[in-house]
Amino acid sequence: MENELVNLTIDNQKITVKKGTTILQAAKQAGIDIPTLCFLKDINEVGDCRMCIVEVEGRKGFATSCIQTVEEGMVVHTHTPNVLEARHVILDLIISNHAKDCLTCTRSGNCELQSLAVKFNVLNVEFPGEMTKHKIDDLSPSIVRDFNKCILCRRCVAACKNVQKIGAIDCINRGFESCISTVGDHSLNDVNCTFCGQCIEACPTGALHEKETIDDVWVKLKDPDTYVIVQTAPGVRVALGEEFGMEIGTNVTKKMVTALKRLGFDKVFDTNTGADFTIMEEANEFVERFKNHDHLPMITSCSPGWVRYIEMNYPELLPHLSTCKSPHQMFGAILKSYYAKKEGIDPSKMYVVSVMPCIAKKFEAKREEMQNDGLYDVDNVITTRELSRMIKQANIEFEKLEDSEFDLPMGDATGAGAIFGTTGGVMEAALRTAQDTLTGKDLEKIDFEQVRGGDGIKRATVNIGGKTIKVVAASGLANAKEILEEIKKGKSDYQFVEIMACPGGCVMGGGQPIKSSRIRSRSRCKKTKS
C-alpha cells in the first residue's frame, strides 16, 4: 500500500516513515545527519561513493543509506566506530587520487570533499599511490574541465543525462583509468554540450567551473582610456547575497550597484532595460507572425543554451525561433550605437561587461553575428560567482555597503524585465505588450498567471483582443525536447512557445552560487517533469 507506514530505530530514536523511504531520508526527517558525497536528491541516488554507509543490526557489513529502503523493526546506527573508520578510509582513498591545490582552487571553501575531509579529520593521506593524470579541457568559451579534481561521483553525468537529457558526458575507460569525459574524449567545445552549466552546479569539487575572465575586466577597469560599462541581469541580484552569507533569495540590488561603482565601472546599468527592448521587439514580431500565420509557433530566443540546443538537434525548426537577440546582447548593441553617440563616446573605446547567471552567455557573446562594424555588442560576460570574487578581491565588505541606484538615462526599466529571470517570465512580458498592441488599449490586468509556476512545462490558453492563443512555457532541455517533438510531428497547436535551457529559468542558471547537496535537498528542486 502506498501509504503503509514502517517503524524503525535510528541512533536510539523511534521513527515512523512511509514504506519505500530510504534510510537517508528517514534519518533526515528525524534530524539525524548522514554525510553524502555522490548523492544529489532526485538526480543522482546511486550509492557510488559509500560515504553514507551505516550499520544495521543483524546484518553483516554496511548498508548504503541513500539507496537502502527501511524495513519494519530495523535498527540503524549512523556513527559507530566501525562506520567512522570506514568513512575515514573512503575519504583517504578519494583524496589520494585528487589534486592537492585546494588553496588556489576556485571551489576552495565551497567544496564538499574539502568539507568532509575537515569534518572527519583527514589531514594526511595514508594511501599515497599512483595518481591518474588528465589533460585540462579549456577550449570552450564557457566551461573548464579539470578532471584531476574529479572524484567520479557522476553527479555531473546525472545532471546532463537525467535532467537535461543531453548526455554530453559519461564515464569512459575502465578501472583505474576511468574518468568522466565525452565520446572520443573530445573537448566539450566539439560535442553536443549546450554550455548550460548544470554540470557545474552539480559538481561537488572544482572539476568543473566556468571559464573565468575577471582578469580581463580588471585590466580594462585600470585603463584610463577605456569607458567600462556593466549591466546586470535580474537573476543576479537575488543570488549574489548568498556568496556573502545572506539568506537564499535576498534581493541585494542596491548593494550590488554600490559594489560595482566601487569596483570602478564608469556606468552601472540594468539589463532589464535591454529586456524591455526585447519585449517590444518580440511581442511585435509575434503579432506579425500571428496575423500572417508565419512559422508558428514562434519560439523565444533569449536563452543561448537553448539556441545552441535547437541548432544542433532540430535545425529544421530554426525558422520558428524569434529573430530577437537576448536582452543583454540587445542592450550591448544599443550602448555601442545610440548611447555612445548621445554621450560622444567612441564605441571602440567602450567595453561592455554583462553580469549573468548563465555561462552559456559567454559563448553567446562571442558568436560572429553578435558584432557590428567589427565590435562585439558585449565584450565580456562574467557570472554571479565571478562578480562575488571581484568584490572579495577588492576587499569590499558587501553586507555593510550603502544603497545605490542604477545610473541614468539607461537605468530605468519596467517591471516586466524583472520577471525574465524565471520560467514563464519572457512569455508573460511579451503577452502583455502583444495584448496592448492588438487591442490598442492599456491593460486593466497585466498578469498572465497561467504561465507562472515551477512546473517544467506549463500549457495555457489566453485570450488577447478576442483571439484565442495557445501558449506553452518549458524550462530545462528535457522538457524542451518534448515540446520540439510535438512541433516536429505536427501534434502542436501552440502559437507561442517560451523555452529556457535551465530548469526553473535563468535564476537557476549555471553561473549562480553553488549549493551543497544538503542545501539543494531542502531548498531547491531540480526535477523538471511536467
- The answer to whether residue 400 is catalytic is no
Distance, in Å, from the CA atom of 155 to the CA atom of 44, rounded to the nearest integer, reads 6
- The answer to whether residue 322 is catalytic is yes
Lookup: cell for 465: 483582443
- List 2, 369, 402, 444, catalytic entry: 369
- The answer to whether residue 364 is catalytic is yes
The pairing of strands 371-372 and 227-232 is: unpaired
- List 302, 324, 358, 502, catalytic entry: 302
Using CA atoms, how far residue 30 sits from 6, 10, 14, 26, 456, in Å, is: 14, 8, 9, 6, 30
Cα-only R_g, the chain:
25
- List 55, 201, 243, 364, catalytic entry: 364
Three-state secondary structure call for residue 371:
strand
- The answer to whether residue 529 is catalytic is no
Distance, in Å, from the CA atom of 3 to the CA atom of 412, rounded to the nearest integer, reads 53
- List 28, 149, 255, 361, catalytic entry: 361
The pairing of strands 143-145 and 208-210 is: antiparallel
CA torsion angle for 440, 444, 446, 450 (degrees, to 10)?
-110
CA torsion angle for 181, 185, 191, 195 (degrees, to 10)?
40
- The answer to whether residue 28 is catalytic is no
- List 112, 242, 285, 428, catalytic entry: 285
Count CB atoms within 10 A of the CB of residue 472: 26
Distance, in Å, from the CA atom of 202 to the CA atom of 389, rounded to the nearest integer, reads 20
Three-state secondary structure call for residue 59:
coil
- List 322, 326, 517, 521, catalytic entry: 322
- The answer to whether residue 502 is catalytic is no
Catalytic residues: 282, 285, 302, 322, 361, 364, 369, 506
